[in-house]
Amino acid sequence: MIRCCCQIIARLLDALTGIIIPGVSTQKIDEFADDFIRSCGAVPSFKGYCIPGLLPYPAAICTSVNSGIVHGIPNVCTILNEGDIIGIDVGVMKNGYHGDAARTYAVGAISDAARRLLNVTQESLRLGISQAMQGMRVGDISHAIGTYVMANGYYVADNLTGHGVGRSLHEEPVIPNMGLPGKGPRLQAGMTLAIEPMVNIGTNRVREDGWEYFSADGSLSAHYEHTILVTEAEPLILSIA
Ligand code: MF3
Ligand code: CO
């Protein structure tokens, strides 16, 4: 089920720590991920994924470097350099269910500014998840993420959201990364949600280029995502090993 998909993703994201080093191409990372997912008897959810107006998504994972926010397409020309950051987003399907998770990695040693962005984005995800209990509302998750990001002087990327996940990769509800507490759909035990803050250093505005989203000012952007299960008590993070 979903937990099984998420466990594959968690193990893959852990394994990628050893692959993401200066000199590697995003294409190589994609090949590693594609092989890993298939060796687990699963398939990459993103490959062939369609949205109106674009060709089907061509790769197993998304690789978004530096000012890349999400949906970067792996390719042979993008070679990682020391000091880069790279968001890796993975969807896995097995037995008719999907899981979805992402992390942003440091390539070698990174600047203090980049490290702080990663820390704040990761903490905003933790705070968002902590609101995801039965009886709370989607707006409580959104508000927890957005207020923490803004309090740290950063920006939530416009119009990019989390989502329900299950039989389909993207399901109801939409989970914005800023919002009002006490508003939006009520959370029920048993719901599985992909919560995913996308945070820019310099602006909320985004630039789109085909599939790919970038911060409009070229500033660094980070992305962390977990698939979680809503319960009557603490949420269960499915995408950790
Ligand atoms: N995790 C991504 C999201 O929720 C999935 C991207 S689908 C892709 O938006 F096909 F673009 F990779
Ligand atoms: Co997602």
Query: Which pLDDT does position 140 carry in this prediction?
Result: 98
Element containing residue 3 per DSSP (H, E): helix 2-16
Cα 128 to averaged position of ligand 2 atoms, centre (Å) = 14
Query: Which pLDDT does position 183 carry in this prediction?
Result: 98
Q: What's the pLDDT band for 154 if we cut at 50, 70, 90? A: very high
Q: What's the pLDDT band for 49 if we cut at 50, 70, 90? A: very high
Is 32 near ligand 1, meaning CB less than 6 Å away? no
Q: Which atom of ligand 1 has the smallest separation from the CA of 163?
A: 4
Hey, CA dihedral for 89, 152, 214, 129, is it positive or negative?
positive
For 171-219, how does the pLDDT look when each residue is reduced to its tens digit (9 = 90+)? 999 999 999 999 999 999 999 999 999 999 999 999 999 999 999 999 9
Which residues face 191 on adjacent strands? none
* Sequence ranges of the domains in the chain: 2-237
Which residues face 78 on adjacent strands? none
Q: Which atom of ligand 1 has the smallest separation from the CA of 102?
A: 1
Cα 46 to averaged position of ligand 1 atoms, centre (Å) = 6
Q: What single-letter DSSP state applies at residue 216?
A: T
Residue 149 CA, distance from chain mean position? 16
Q: What's the pLDDT band for 159 if we cut at 50, 70, 90? A: very high
DSSP result, 117-135? HHHHHHHHHHHHHHT-STT
Contacts of 192 (CB under 8 A, 6+ apart): 2, 164, 165, 166, 227, 228, 229, 230, 238
Q: How far apart are CA 109 and CA 86, in angstroms?
A: 13
How many CB atoms sit inside 10 A of residue 53's CB?
Answer: 6
Query: Which pLDDT does position 103 carry in this prediction?
Result: 98
Q: How far apart are CA 23 and CA 3, in angstroms?
A: 34
Contacts of residues 53-57 at CB distance under 8 Å and 24 or more positions apart, as own/partner, are 54/210, 54/211, 57/211
Query: Which pLDDT does position 129 carry in this prediction?
Result: 98
The residue nearest atom 4 of ligand 1, judged by CA position, is 162
Cβ contact 164:198 at 8 Å:
no
For 71-125, how does the pLDDT look when each residue is reduced to its tens digit (9 = 90+)? 999 999 999 999 999 999 999 999 999 999 999 999 999 999 999 999 999 999 9
Cα 49 to averaged position of ligand 1 atoms, centre (Å) = 8
Q: Which fold has domain 2-237?
A: Creatine Amidinohydrolase (3.90.230)
Query: Which pLDDT does position 127 carry in this prediction?
Result: 98
Query: Which pLDDT does position 38 carry in this prediction?
Result: 98
